[in-house]
Amino acid sequence: MAHTPMVALAAVLFAATSVVSAAERDLGHETLTPNDGWASFSGGTSGGAAADRTRIYTVQDRRGLQAALQDGDKPKIIYVDGDIDANTDDDGGSIACDKYAAPGFTLDAYVQAFEPAVWSTSTQPSGPLEDARRTSQQNQAARVQLQVGSNTTIVGLHDTAFVSGAQLALNGVDNVIIRNLNFEDTYDCFPSWDPSDGGSWSPRYASLSISGSTHVWIDHNSFDTSLHPDAGQPVFLGREFQVHASALDVSHGSDLVTVSWNEFHDYDRAVEIGAAEGTAVDPAKVRVTLHHNLFQGTATDAPRVRAGQVHLYNNLYDIPDLSRYQFSWGLDPDARLFAENNFFLSSDARPNRLLRAFNASALHTSGTLLGPALSAAPVDVLAVYNAEHDAQLAPDVGWTPTLTLGVDATQNVVGAVRDGAGPLSVP
């Protein structure tokens, strides 16, 4: 991918007049509207809206983005102009997977070493090749993982602003806004192999990783895997070679997050909420809102709620192909999902495909429609599940959402989300 040099990193936009005129909408200075989901609670989310003139940047390459992100925790606005490819060196040259590989590592050798006939199916990989894989992965991580500080807004100047191959990582921060970006193909060259339970490949990088962070607004973005589609990956060790983790991962006690008007395209796993890797999580302190998002061709996890009070409303699920589709809503024991007025657009998906419970205990759902756009029928997702399972889900999740700008009638969701989700074409 061709890249133009970074523009005006040190000499910032001077009140943004060189990029955003007074008559234009300036997404960088916008803040989350009061009552718009959990991120509006307890002080709201303003990102870098209060940035002074010396902390407003426009960037066009990885080097520029990385430099802007290193400007501490004072309010800052970063405008992305054009295409940013994280798998590039400081001169903009492309870095292929083999350039990250540690000495002694090849995928062929790794696969041969951990064939079931050679390696135990109950023992995690170890030894020189596993060490080399980890080193290789660390080499890539040093380029593609970009740390985002508190009080930051990152926004695409136009609907053609791309961030490719990168993971924006929010670790223990507060007050961040990510808007109007096309996240493309955040792929892991060196996913780990887990031989247990039938075996699986485990990639590392979500496009957006929110860990131990609060007050985060994710709005009008697109997440896509089209350059290395999951459906086109080869099979190694009897399992599809997974190079994409989820698009969005909200984990380790992250709280007060609103995810609105985004598009998620063709991910095997779209959104994961509440993972904590063995640490106990209080569901009442993982609070996330998802509304008016498009899930197009996603196979699972839209979302997967491991823990948390999650309000899921007015989302559109477009299921064009059942061959890869498994489920949309995944619920774990500490999930407290309140789902209302969501639309599943499919001509042949059955109601019992929409939900999968992993020892979950409760679900509130209402207003769900399933079927073609003009002839969808109401579905009681909870009743369908309980009719087929001995372990029943209770209808009371212990809380009721109050932070919305209004819940649309389900029959209006297709038009609203089709017209409004994804990056904005700002004049």
Q: Is 126 helix (H, G, I), strand (E, B) or coil?
A: coil
**For a pLDDT cut of 90, what percent of the chain falls above it?**
89
End-to-end CA separation in angstroms for the chain: 25
Confirm whether 126 is domain-assigned. Answer: no
Q: Is 43 left (phi over 0), alpha (psi -120 to 50) or beta?
A: left
**CA pair distance 389, 406, nearest whole angstrom:** 34
Which whole number is the average pLDDT over 146-175?
98
Asked if residue 30 has pLDDT above 60, the reply is yes
pLDDT at position 195: 94
Task: Provide the CB-side half-sphere exposure for 229 (13 A, CA).
Answer: 9
Q: Considering its fold, how many domains does the chain have in total? A: 1
Is residue 278 very low, low, confident or very high in pLDDT (cuts 50, 70, 90)?
Answer: confident
**Are the C-beta atoms of 260 and 288 separated by less than 8 Å?**
no
Asked if residue 268 has pLDDT above 50, the reply is yes
Q: Which residues pair with 88 in a beta bridge?
A: 94
Chain center to CA of 247: 3
| CB contact set of 128 (below 8 Å; sequence gap of 6+) | 104
Confirm whether 148 is domain-assigned. Answer: yes
Which whole number is the average pLDDT over 56-62?
98
Confirm whether 4 is domain-assigned. Answer: no
Which of 339, 340, 348 lies closest to 319 in space, CA to CA? 348
Confirm whether 104 is domain-assigned. Answer: no
**CA pair distance 222, 341, nearest whole angstrom:** 22
Which whole number is the average pLDDT over 203-210?
97
To the nearest whole number, what is the mean pLDDT of the chain?
Answer: 93
Is residue 111 very low, low, confident or very high in pLDDT (cuts 50, 70, 90)?
Answer: very high
Q: Which stretch of 62-76, 100-114, 270-284, 297-311 has the lowest confidence by average pLDDT?
A: 270-284
Confirm whether 106 is domain-assigned. Answer: no
Asked if residue 125 has pLDDT above 50, the reply is yes
What domain range is 381 assigned to? 27-96+143-420
Confirm whether 289 is domain-assigned. Answer: yes
Confirm whether 127 is domain-assigned. Answer: no
Give the DSSP letter of residue 426: -
Confirm whether 20 is domain-assigned. Answer: no
E strand or H helix that includes residue 295: strand 294-296
Tell me, what CATH number does 255's domain have? 2.160.20.10
**CA pair distance 104, 174, nearest whole angstrom:** 41
Asked if residue 19 has pLDDT above 70, the reply is no
**Are the C-beta atoms of 114 and 193 separated by less than 8 Å?**
yes
Is residue 21 very low, low, confident or very high in pLDDT (cuts 50, 70, 90)?
Answer: very low
Is residue 15 very low, low, confident or very high in pLDDT (cuts 50, 70, 90)?
Answer: very low
Asked if residue 212 has pLDDT above 80, the reply is yes
